[in-house]
Amino acid sequence: MHISKEEKMAELERILHGRSLHGAESLRAFLRFVVDQSLDHQESGLKEYVIATQAFGRGPDFDSRIDSVVRVQAGRLRTKLQEYYATEGKDDRIIIDLPKGQYVPVFSYAPAKEEQRTGDETVTNGGSIPANGPPSPQASAGPASALDPLPLSAAPDVTEISQTGKPSLAVLRRWQTATLSFALLAVLLGTFVFFYRARAAELSMPTTAGAPGETDALDPREIAPLWGDLLRSAEPILVVYSNTLFRGTAEGGMKLLKKLDSPGSSLGSPIIPQSEMEQSKEPVIEHYTGIGEVMGAYYLGDFFARTRHASRLKRSLLLTWEDLKTENIVVLGSPAENFFLRDLPQKQDLVFKPMPDDNGNKSFGIINTNVQPGEQPRYFARQDGPSRSQISEDYAVVSLLQGLDGKKRMLILAGITTLGTQAAAEYVTKPDYIRDLISRLNTAPAGAPPKLPANFQALVKVKVNGGVPVQISYITHHVLNQ
């Protein structure tokens, strides 16, 4: 059956004005562009380069081998379309899909729903459910609250098959929702541990992991002062982990390609170091990430699983300014590896930079640009021997800042060394530490619910034993201007 242009445009407007794409301006522009091109019979022009330059504002030098913005945003759009048709669009007559591997939208009529009522049961496509049974999470979904968990749907009804004999878009959506927050971190850290912890949280099963005296449960009211703004959006939180460029080889020795005191302007490996890469006579590699960032990704993945909030991972060399503008982001690592942190417009008091230590040696540390009573002007990691594996003390900064558009939020978890980064991630994901941080930063009057400054930096001290952070203690914090 032919679908008219008017029907396609009407369905496009329903999606663009729905809750699923609310606040996702880049995805709205993406969807409108590909649909408009399709309706104008310009499908042959729906290539990565055209979409990047016309829908995402990339320059004429755009190279899809370097900048993955179109592929990433296409994946996000597919997820949003599935979300829409599983919830507010479940009764729509028209379905717009963006099949994997292409950017040409596909329009189809939704499969007819055969439904009749017999006695106290409703019969649907040959299966029956009690007429007074509980509504599905999708059917009852309303506007998301600050800490509403993402539903983990039951296995889809085998009768929900499209006319093509393939699972319907709604079925695929429920499967993707159930696995999204597991898949990314499972690749990094192992499927078994991640899945077990998430299922334990779902079934309210106690686990033995975590600090002494700590339970696996997270009280949404307790974490809301710190995490509420980041968890309020239904979109996945983007977790960015350090991934920098090295010159040399693992066998012959490696060193940072870009110096610690060099300027930023650093999003993506092709932009910053291209001239240096051309001049380098040694191979340039980008495959190494600190162990603290790996452990930090685990802590965050476990935390998001327990709060039922979706997240996704991205290495910092692939981050774009579009991501920084449109996403809620958690960053793992300091400006030593995450070069884009050197370019953030918001002024910060606690700044990472190389400087002379107490012995006159050049070291990477934290400089306090706004020293308050009782604070030090500089903070350095302590190393009890020639090897970096002999770190015994580190410092880390937890920074909660505005996003580039003033609406999104950015949480930066950075240590002087990778071990400090691990400790910072633990400090904002473990209930006992979260309570400690909130109590230190609370600005609400006595008896009122806790309230934290909109923008702040908190400095913590980390005791390290055998390459493992064993103790994290609050030192000070600074409230930042917006």
Sign of the dihedral defined by the CA atoms of residues 50, 51, 56, 62, in that order: negative
Strand 237-241 relative to strand 311-315: parallel, antiparallel, unpaired?
parallel
Domain boundaries, the chain: 5-109, 178-243+289-479
Question: What is the rounded distance in angstroms from the CA atom of residue 70 to the CA atom of residue 67?
Answer: 8
Output the pLDDT for position 281.
Answer: 67
Please identify every stretch of the chain with a pLDDT value under 50, giving residue numbers as ranges: 115-216, 266, 268-277
Output the pLDDT for position 338.
Answer: 85
Question: What is the rounded distance in angstroms from the CA atom of residue 170 to the CA atom of residue 173?
Answer: 5
Output the pLDDT for position 201.
Answer: 40
- Cβ-proximal residues to 142 (8 Å cutoff; 6+ apart), any chain: none
Nearest 5°: the CA angle 345, 351, 355 is 130
Helix, coil or strand: residue 327: coil
Output the pLDDT for position 198.
Answer: 43
CA-to-CA dists, residue 120 to 128, 129, 131, 383, angstroms: 10, 9, 5, 72
Helix, coil or strand: residue 406: coil
Output the pLDDT for position 155.
Answer: 36
Tokens of 391: 């770190």
Residue tagged 């077990």 (tokens): 196
Nearest Cα residue to 207 out of 194, 219, 190: 194
Output the pLDDT for position 482.
Answer: 66
